[in-house]
Structure 1
């Protein structure tokens, strides 16, 4: 493969475990037999789970002692996406999170004309990953999205807040019915964000519509901004930076304990500077402490 400083890493990436199209990196167990919490990672358009693990290698080395990162494989086939070739030539098949039937022009992206519905295939994939982590004694606490994957992350974060709002209103804060609590996350990392709107899980939309909340209350929940802690990394040399800005402006609430935006010295890829990567690690660790995430016994 050709050399490409965007994706090359200075040392060997963490061990990989491959299964069902998804890839896991990092240790599953922590100190004293405790199980590390899980982060789900969503690659960009025209990429795949293995490529994303390579792109994540620098950051995952700093997180692997405390988290298990599961890189998910998008369900829809795609040509190689931006920045993939020539370095990842021969590393296909490549895939995307949006059905091939959805074609949106750049003007449509800028004007919010894209679909806001997450495909049933993507929702099923995420739900299965959450349940698989639980089956191993872990819990999915956070999400990592790159490029098109940030639309999935935004939809899951929004879905989480919608589900919590419905449960709070109808059941006084109880957990909710078994089987619908899979969409529950504490924080997210959004890198080189894509255009809005977020891709909302259809089961969450259906749950809101079927709730006893009034139409005005439902609309208020739908139109509210995501307040869960989210770190947004934008590249100062990223030609798609406008899309990342639109995503933050249209979906997230920026402020202490909510969303934070950092502009890094990079193009459309993950940070390379040590201080920027360590800053991301510090944000994740600080956020985990703030929301009270603990390892499972």
Structure 2
């Protein structure tokens, strides 16, 4: 089942002109829940406007969502990760994801440039995939529809997802396929060189897949790895959040992001 609209959840109304980061939630969550999970990141990124998009597909709540957020449904996903998720063809899957994101962007009241992506879990996989699509479209066509300068990947696991003919390859999972359990051994020809910040919880049961994502699909010259003593969740404590935000500011400045005075 899909939704026809998605409601953006802006960080506040007094940051309309700040550079914007599009935030993509994990599987079985919502934009509202991700905003609550990311409250410490929002607090420590005052020069950005963080905008949270809802995934297009309804599903059961993800791991750890109940009981804290059990009343925040219906819960959503961007991709299939379980075999029981309804089958969908690749073109429709791409269309639904793009529509949800574009609707969120169009409905946001801000007017600052879209400078980055930030995703958690499945949203991190999507963030990396969208950033790579931007890169390969520029390489093949000389232009892309977006101009993101960086992405922040919180617990993003391999592989990246193919969203165009340019990325149809055994190293990339199809957008309509079940993404969990996907394995590609060997060197991927699809390597993201736009800057990325990878945040890995050392007690996360999916850590080996997060490390595989970093190693196979991201250029070490443009990737930053931050590890913290946590599980599969968004960091909240100041000691864990500050290094992430410091890196976001560093990368943003290096990429020429302009902040509102």
TM-score between the two structures when normalised by the length of structure 1: 0.71
Does residue 56 (structure 1) correspond to residue 20 (structure 2)? The answer is no
Gaps of 5+ in 2: 85-89, 169-187
Does residue 89 (structure 1) correspond to residue 53 (structure 2)? The answer is no
| Deviation of 1:205 (Å) | 5.8
Higher mean C-alpha displacement, 44-53 vs 241-250: 241-250
Gaps of 5+ in 1: 1-18, 105-114, 169-175, 207-221
Aligned to 2:173: none
Q: Is the partner of 1:223 in helix, strand or coil?
A: coil
Q: Deviations over 1:192-235 (max 9, x none)?
A: 11231x123338769xxxxxxxxxxxxxxx92410111110111
Does residue 103 (structure 1) correspond to residue 83 (structure 2)? The answer is yes
Query: Residue 192 of structure 1 contacts residue 241 of structure 1 at CA under 8 Å; is this kept in 2?
Result: yes
Change (3 A) 1:56 1:203: farther
Aligned to 2:189: 223
Aligned equivalents of 1:154, 1:120: Cα separation in 2: 18
Q: Which structure has the bigger radius of gyration?
A: 1
TM-score between the two structures when normalised by the length of structure 2: 0.80
| Deviation of 1:286 (Å) | 1.0
Does residue 122 (structure 1) correspond to residue 97 (structure 2)? The answer is yes
Aligned equivalents of 2:136, 2:260: Cα separation in 1: 26
Structure 1 stretches of at least 4 aligned residues deviating more than 4 Å after TM superposition? 130-133, 203-206
Change (3 A) 1:129 1:167: farther
Aligned equivalents of 1:131, 1:122: Cα separation in 2: 14
Query: Residue 158 of structure 2 contacts residue 210 of structure 2 at CA under 8 Å; is this kept in 1?
Result: yes
Query: Residue 151 of structure 2 contacts residue 197 of structure 2 at CA under 8 Å; is this kept in 1?
Result: yes
Change (3 A) 1:193 1:205: closer
Q: Is the partner of 1:249 in helix, strand or coil?
A: helix
Does residue 23 (structure 1) correspond to residue 9 (structure 2)? The answer is yes
| Deviation of 1:69 (Å) | 0.6
Aligned to 1:188: 151
Aligned to 2:185: none
Aligned to 1:156: 130
Aligned equivalents of 1:99, 1:236: Cα separation in 2: 25
Q: Deviations over 1:11-47 (max 9, x none)?
A: xxxxxxxx942211145537xxxx1011011111111
Query: Residue 118 of structure 1 contacts residue 152 of structure 1 at CA under 8 Å; is this kept in 2?
Result: no
Change (3 A) 1:165 1:192: same
Aligned equivalents of 1:98, 1:165: Cα separation in 2: 26
Aligned equivalents of 1:79, 1:124: Cα separation in 2: 21
Aligned to 1:201: 163
Aligned to 1:146: 120
Aligned equivalents of 1:296, 1:128: Cα separation in 2: 25
Aligned to 2:50: 69
